[in-house]
Amino acid sequence: MQGAHKFGAVVPALFLFAAVASAVPPPLPKVEGLEVEKWLIDDADVIAVTNVKQMMASELMKGGGKDALKDLIRSTPQLKEVTDATGLDITKDVDGSVGSAVIRGKNTRALMVVRGPFDPDKVNKALAKHGKGEKEGDYTVYPVKLHDQPMFAVVADKNTLIVAHAKDVALDRAKNGGKTEARIAKHMAPALKRFTGKENMVLAAQMSDELKKQLEKAPSQVSGLLSGVKALTAALSVGDSLEMTMSGYTGDAKKAKELKRELDKAQVLGVFLLAGNEDLPPVLTDILRETRIDAGKDAVTIKLKVTKDQIEKIAKGEDK
């Protein structure tokens, strides 16, 4: 009877442990001043988190990477659009950002939270250039257009900027955001487990019906490769080199192996094409050749590393 009593006491404890374990938040990068998991949209199809402060402290960024990042922002319309609208200098005004979206065509919902030591007055003035703000209690909401989509922005406090698809959502997050963890979508949950939480930047997207429709417009080689993928992830870590990991979550070992075979073929073809292009630095061929492609029980993973020396050669267009 004593053994039965002990067993009866252990079972509830095991159920409690299982409940706690299942509630453990996904290992997403940290953003100073934010509990990332509490700043996502429920059932998001796309999640993007960046620890900008950590990235800026890396050896690569200290060695000239900040100027390269600024050049990249200026030359990329989507990034320039965001910095122009908000007046933010990503290299010094931002500690990190959290973005999420539910992709449903005209009913798409999106939320972006930017955290950092920015100047609220400067940001408000930049936002005012794009539309007249409306005073709502202690907050002023500004209409902005990002990627041709109407959005609403509000400075929640001296360190937090909220941008959302609807005015009431932006205001609610400014007042009440960061209090409860978001619900994670079915195929997003196992995909997020591929992260460690130490990356500088991560992106995860589950294959919603809307994204599948977009894939139909892609070249057949691309749409064919992704036909068996339920979610995609990408992670970037910046130190004395750049390390990128991309994964396609299939949920099935057989599909993962099939996808790996196709990616292996693409890698061989890519190396051949790069090696035959005299207009490109040979170091690009080296990087692609050294890229690893592995298949696991439920996903295919691509890992590549670019050293500081290789980055300098690419920038200068040098030979080996």
Cα gap 1→158, rounded to integer Å:
62
17 belongs to a structural domain: no
Q: Which residues is 113 bridged to in the sheet?
A: 98, 162
Say which DSSP state 147 is in: T
Cα gap 231→185, rounded to integer Å:
11
Is the pLDDT confidence value at 249 over 80? yes
92 belongs to a structural domain: yes
Mean of the per-residue pLDDT values of the chain: 84
112 belongs to a structural domain: yes
Residues 163, 112 contacting (CB under 8 angstroms)? yes
**Chain segment 93-138, per-residue pLDDT in tens:** 999 999 999 988 778 899 999 999 999 999 999 999 888 999 988 9
**Of 154, 158, 179, 180, nearest in space to 167 by CA:** 154
12 belongs to a structural domain: no
- Structural domain harbouring 230: 26-246
207 belongs to a structural domain: yes
Same domain membership, residue 160 and residue 49? yes
**Chain segment 187-239, per-residue pLDDT in tens:** 888 888 889 888 999 999 998 777 777 766 666 666 666 777 889 999 999 99
The model's pTM: 0.84
